[in-house]
Structure 1
Amino acid sequence: MNKTELIDHIAQQADISKAAAGRALDAVIGGVRSTLKKGGTVTLVGFGTFAVGKRVARTGRNPRTGDAIKIKAAKVPKFRPGKALKDALN
């Protein structure tokens, strides 16, 4: 499912226009993004938790030349599914 299909699904299930569903989806994504950027977490009970993880600096290899390269530390988004979502899949 891509973003357009998700907007169509939201519009149909909530009985709202596709434009309103698109704005709502963009607002949710924006809220999650801004909260994670501040270092916070977003918990949707029954769905899961979005959080920020830290990846340490490390040495990697250039696959083309085999030379060692330095990979700097980074913050990465992580998602941990909730129990209800896990149960729905099994």
Structure 2
Amino acid sequence: MNKLELIQALKYATDLSNSEAAAVVDLFFNRMADALAKGNRVEIRGLCSFFVKEYEGYTGRNPKTGKSVKIKPKKLPFFKAGKELKERVDG
């Protein structure tokens, strides 16, 4: 399911117009992204959680040339499925 399909599903499940459903979906995802950008954790009980992992900088190697390359510290978003979602998917 992509974003447009989610908007359509929300529209048909409620009495919202297409633009109202799109606004709800956009608001939801924008707030999640804002929270993650601030380093906060987002948890949707029974479904999943999103959090940010921080990685230290390290020395890597360019696979083409074999030269050492400095990798800067970085932060990456992660998704962790909840227990109920895992059980539902597993069948």
Could you tell me the TM-score, scaled by structure 2's length? 0.86
- Tell me how large the CA RMSD over aligned residues is: 1.4
Q: Which moved more, 1:10-19 or 1:80-89?
A: 10-19
Note the alpha carbon deviations across 1:30-80, whole angstroms, 9 max, x for none. 111111122111111111111111112112222222211111111111111
Aligned to 1:56: 56
Mapped pair 1:8 → 2:11: no
Could you tell me the TM-score, scaled by structure 1's length? 0.87
What code does the residue aligned with 1:14 have?
T
Q: Please report how far the alpha carbon of residue 19 of structure 1 lies from its aligned counterpart in structure 2 after TM superposition.
A: 1.3
The runs of 5 or more residues in structure 2 that have no matched partner are none
The 4+ residue runs of structure 1 with deviation greater than 6 A are: none
Counting aligned pairs with the same residue, the percent is 38
Aligned to 1:81: 81
The runs of 5 or more residues in structure 1 that have no matched partner are none
Aligned residues: 90
1:7-46 to 2 correspondences below 5 Å? 7-46=7-46
Q: Please report how far the alpha carbon of residue 10 of structure 1 lies from its aligned counterpart in structure 2 after TM superposition.
A: 2.0
Secondary structure of 1:77's partner? strand
Q: Please report how far the alpha carbon of residue 15 of structure 1 lies from its aligned counterpart in structure 2 after TM superposition.
A: 3.6
Aligned to 1:68: 68
